[in-house]
A and B are shown apart, each in its own frame.
Chain A
Amino acid sequence: MQVTFKDVTLSYDGKRDILKHLNFVIQEGSLVCLLGPSGGGKSTTLNLISGLLAPTGGHIFFDDADVTKKDALGRKVGMVFQNYALYPHLTVLKNIEFPLKMAKMSKADRTKRAKELAALVHVEDQLDKKPGELSGGQQQRVAIARALAKEPSILLLDEPLSNLDARLRIEMREEIRRIQRETGVTTVFVTHDQDEAMHISDQIMVLHDGHIQQFSTPKKLYASPDNLFVAQFIGEPVINSIPATALNHDLAGIVPDSILTQAQTAGIRPEALTLPQRALDPLVTLHGKVLEFDQFGRESTANIDYNGYQLISTEMSQLAHDTKELDFTLEKKGFFLFDADGKRIFGGDTPMVLVGDQSAQKDPAAAPTESGGDTHAE
């Protein structure tokens, strides 16, 4: 089922809008993550899709049908709640059967269907247990089976992994991906964990402050964030962000003046700072002092002082640990400039127009922009 939001607005108290003029299309059969910090409107958006909440303004479409006025029952959605909300008094089998019982399916049919689903989510050996006797991961599987029981038009998951421990979370997110692929059901997944979102989604919608910050593939979200918020929210370690003026001296003559004067903040991914001999596509060489080296298992980070600002790099493990000062390279990939509104004006999928470059002769506006059908927030 394709889900379309047209100009959807929601306010709980009639004064303050939680969601402001939301427009997006979720493609049929895709797995979409709603990602963002707490209070950004993720769960609200999910509840609007489910029909548990009605929008204050705008329209919601499932394929071509306007479902704005329909409640949860009429929309035929399946939902997995954060705490699973399995009926504590029913066995696993009865829990999975419950939506079918409500749909007045015959007892034999619903038991057969429930057993198939239990097998799909690998809980077929737990059928007679009560939810309280199951582990978190098993409860999660049962909740998914129950949500899938009535063959929902769309499967909604509200922070389904946040109650699990770290290792189980990784296992379950792969399971959700597998179940989604096997059933082909359009899935919307709410999470505040960017790592989780990056691993399982076809597309990610970053929500913050009631607006869609960016809605695109995980790859694109990382490689060319639309704005400073997305750049800072996605990526671990967090992107280095320093005032653009700190780089002015080094970038003058390389990045066009017209861009430099607009730029307010520079974002540098930790992997975009490398040693000169390992540079792939360098933009410029910078000079700084080494403050500290840290090693966390496979990862190593170096803290570098550049013009009084601290930068973190993950690409300097080969550097001798007694190095005090060094020249290092700033790569083109993973370097962005943002204007005063936080909008990206340099780097990412914007064609990189450099001073003295051949392509500088061309009009930048005429350059082909890669959009890939993504919907951006206004």
Chain B
Amino acid sequence: MLNEKPTVKSSIKAYLYLLPMLVITFTFNIYPIIKSFLMSFYTKYDFYTDVVSAYGFSNFTYLWNDPDFHLAVRNTLVFVVGVVPLNIIISLFIALLLNKIKRFAGAFRTIYFLPFVTSTVAIAQVWNWIYHSDYGLLNYFLGLVGINPINWLNDPNWAMPALIIMSIWKGLGFNIVLFLVGLNNINTRYYQAAEIDGADSWHQFTNVTLPLLSPITFLVTINGVIGSFKVFDEIFALFQGSSGPSKSALTIVYYLYEKFYTEWKYGIAAASGVVLFFLILLVTLIQLWYSRKHVHY
């Protein structure tokens, strides 16, 4: 019945249906979040007995004073700023090209999507070779245009750009597919109307495509920003289990990983996770606020 009133019996029944999902969500999502927040306040913790003898803010003061953490935050921000805008511009450009061609569009789409479904470790191995200072493909091409070989993976100045280039390439496929969906959803009538109204291709792009694509661009941006803030496996695989030469690719999650698994400082690891959480939250809120004015649904 559409007009059935909820009763105690029907509510119990409904929750019973929801129970499997609720149990899984609580065990694997809600509980770990609460636990990690709590853990960031552990100042004296015996992990053999799981006894917490003192709580406090000392983990956060440690982070506040740790130059490594400062470096990690700085590197993470550089990475986000380096990857997200370029990724969006390049994938939008490729999506526009793919949207224009009729033949082989499917084949190209598959090719661009491949990096997304390929294991990061495998990708990193390939890029390891591309970046090789003596035999690498990239240096070979740079040599053709007269640029001296760059020691991509061992020079602290070039490790971060190398990481950014690989990450942009890896993220293209998914964003291209999203942009293609968005482009397909724009009714051709708008382009015809714009053409009749005297808009050339560029004005059609700025006045029709960009505004009508803005929900997808917004989705891609949020997704890209959050993903980039959490970067870890690319670093781990590209620099063979290190954070790059002289920690030049140390990011927040990598810092967290080191504190947790190598140094066994659980409280500090959890605290850096909490800092990352609020950093992402802040940036996402700024994006949401910006989207109010500039995203047209």
- Interface residue ranges, A against B (CB under 8 Å): 50, 52, 71-73, 77-79, 81, 83, 85-89, 98-99, 102-103, 146-147, 150
Contact = CB atoms under 8 A, between A and B. Distances in A.
Contact of A85 (B187, B199, B211): B187
B contact face: mostly helix, strand, loop, or mixed: helix
Count class of interface residues, chain B: 10 to 19
A118 to B, nearest CB: 16
Interface string B175-189: 000000000000101
Contacts, number: 56
Contacts of B211: 87, 89
15 contacts: A50-B196, A73-B195, A79-B192, A79-B193, A79-B196, A85-B192, A85-B193, A87-B193, A87-B208, A89-B211, A89-B296, A98-B207, A102-B198, A146-B197, A147-B196
Nearest to B210: A89
Contacts of B192: 52, 72, 79, 81, 85
Interface of B: 187, 189-190, 192-200, 203, 207-208, 211-212, 214, 296
Contacts of A78: 196
Most B Cβ at <10 Å: residue of A71, A77, A78, A88: A88
A150 B194 CA distance: 13
A150 B189 CA distance: 19
B196 A52 contact: yes
A83 B193 CA distance: 11
Contacts of B196: 50, 52, 72-73, 77-79, 99, 147
A88 B212 contact: yes
A150 B198 contact: yes
A99 B198 contact: yes
A27 B195 CA distance: 25
A40 to B, nearest CB: 21
The 9 closest A-B pairs by CB, nearest first: A89-B296, A102-B198, A99-B197, A85-B189, A85-B193, A89-B211, A79-B196, A72-B195, A72-B196
B212 to A, nearest CB: 7
A88 B193 CA distance: 12
Contacts of A73: 195-196, 198, 200
A81 B189 contact: yes
Contacts of B197: 98-99, 102, 146, 150
